[in-house]
Chains A and B, each alone.
Chain A
Amino acid sequence: METIVVDGLRKAYGEVQALDGVSFEVREGEVFGLLGPNGAGKSTTVRVLVTLTSPDTGAAFVGGHDVRTHQAAVRRTIGYVPQDSGVDQFGTGRENLMLQGRVQDMAGRDLRNRVEELLGLVGIADAADRIVRTYSGGMRRRLDIALGLVHRPKVLFLDEPTTGLDPEARVAMWEEVSRLARAESLTILLTTHYLEEADQLADRLAIVSQGRVAVEGTPTALKAGLRGDAVHVEVADDRLDAARGVLATVGAPPETTIGERTLVARVDHGGTALPHILSALDAAGIPVESVAVSRPSLDDVYLHFTGRDFQAEDRAA
């Protein structure tokens, strides 16, 4: 059962083609990530799905409702946590939540109880009656998420949920999102330009680049699709050249060198290749300082499918 269907969305802002035929589907109950560097079109896609803006062409459905023709129904179905918060900074957390519920046509005891429940659920109950301006970045983000959940939506859109948070708060937020997804049985679409975040949170993800989906799948499958693990071998610095020759003889020719002592080779299966590498180095009398096998990262996936370096592209945007 597909909760979100996106089919060939295109949208231009002046000369800039923000969306250039974005298509993907999100199944009920999953956490789906849109991963890509800044400016790839993730936020624009979300803004179309939450009815803030309309596409030039293409179709999109959320919870079975057409986002172009049944906007009111979509707005009742979804919670939207925008990148730039949108919280009223001069109001308290509770006041913001109450108002959000009221415009969603909630009232009375139901609303009050729901607000109380959410304040506890996202862990800002103690700060509920403080002005939002006094909140820390992490608290504010928690309030943002609570605002998106007041009316018990089925689908939650999280646009860059951890941008601007320090690493500690980011990890806490990941746990929070996973927990909320279960507690509220939500379908979540989140955008992120953190590879690690997509890896941690998303059941499935689509890599977005230049207004299109470059590839789609589970993080594990995408990485497995690269075929191969990276093997890092650290040797004493005067033996680097010798070690390079030895690795080539056992089918693991080093691709790159990190610093003065570490060789990186790509092999089909790290676990199988490692004993051969180690015994060959031992036989050649080259002492090994350390060795590590790593599965490919989403960085590698991005490079592979878009032909561009993720970090460089993200900085350039």
Chain B
Amino acid sequence: MKTARDTWYMVVRQARNLMREPIWIVMMVIQPMVWLILYGQLFKNVTRLGGFGTGSYITFLAPAIVIMNGFFGATWSGMAMINDLEHKVIERFLATPASRVSLVLSQIVRSAITAGLQGIIILIVSIALGVSIRTGALGWIVIVLTGMLVNSAFAGISQAIALLTRREATMIAVANFIGLPLLFLSTTMIARAQMPHWMQETARFNPVDWGVRAAREVVLPGTAWSTVGWYLLFLLLLTVLTTAWATWAFRAYQRTL
């Protein structure tokens, strides 16, 4: 109870700080649209290769962009933790009865909420670009939720790395190192049938791809809800695992004090 309450207070603190950065808000809204529009235009004709399940590339792409955006956002989520560590904000809370877990959990929740809001914006723009989400409201919920889960899963990793290294430079290196490879080792931009065999096989173990498949399933014809369910379950388990790792990393950080 105390953990939930303190987590909420900490989320409010972080969200309020972000809202005071007008540039951040603009970036948060515009960046996913840039991806949607640039990628959508650039690869417009790629559906002719076949295996996309639709002739409209933007329909194929839009749900995946929600996931990609959640993933990219997550890889940077540790930066806020490093900032708090550097300014000793965390230490100040450690000398109070504030829930320890809430200090980590709030960072992940804040990151996921951001991803969710961006997901909604991306979907709205997608509709304007002619995408139709054939499963309706439930489809929206699945896509946004999947984006948030992918975000949480990777935010846990990002937080753990932030707590273990406590260096911005390391964070940037890790984010860059895993960002594009995991994106290209997934079906975010291209149909599975068009990937080299080894990539197809590798993608099966890529949580980004789990998210993309779940989100795309509710947009393309012939939705298999069990597929959606399984991938969401995988992502949920992964989130639990990485959050536990981040919490462990927080205790490791406390031992260095």
Contacts and interface: CB of A to CB of B under 8 A. Distances in A.
A91 B95 contact: no
Interface string B71-90: 00000000000000001111
Contacts of A103: 6, 9, 93, 96-99
Contact of A50 (B6, B16, B90, B95): B95
A47 interface: yes
A75 interface: yes
Interface stretch (A78-86, A198-206, A224-232): A78-86
Contacts of A88: 13, 17, 87, 89
Given A95-B16, A105-B97, A85 B257 contact: no
Contacts of A105: 2, 97
B87 A84 contact: yes
B254 to A, nearest CB: 8
A90 B17 contact: yes
B20 interface: yes
Interface residues of B, number: 22
A87 B86 CA distance: 11
Interface residues of A, number: 29
B17 A99 contact: no
B91 interface: yes
Nearest to B94: A52
A102 B17 CA distance: 18
Contacts of A76: 97
Given A52-B95, A76-B97, A103-B6, A91 B13 contact: yes
A80 B92 contact: yes
Query: Which of B16, B87, B92, B99 has the largest count of A CB atoms less than 10 A from its CB?
Result: B92
Given A91-B13, A99-B13, A103-B6, A86 B97 contact: no
A84 B96 contact: no
A45 interface: no
A151 B97 CA distance: 11
B98 A95 contact: no
A88 B98 CA distance: 15
Contacts of A311: none
Nearest to A104: B96
A89 B95 contact: no
Interface in B1-30: 2, 5-6, 9, 13, 16-17, 20
B87 A86 contact: yes
B88 A84 contact: yes
A100 interface: yes
A91 B94 CA distance: 19
B92 A82 contact: yes
Contact of A147 (B17, B92, B94, B97): B92
A31 B43 CA distance: 71
20 contacts: A52-B91, A52-B257, A75-B95, A75-B96, A80-B92, A80-B96, A82-B88, A86-B88, A86-B93, A88-B89, A90-B20, A91-B16, A99-B13, A102-B5, A103-B93, A103-B98, A104-B96, A104-B97, A105-B2, A147-B92
Cβ-closest 5 pairs across A and B? A86-B92, A103-B98, A90-B17, A80-B95, A86-B88
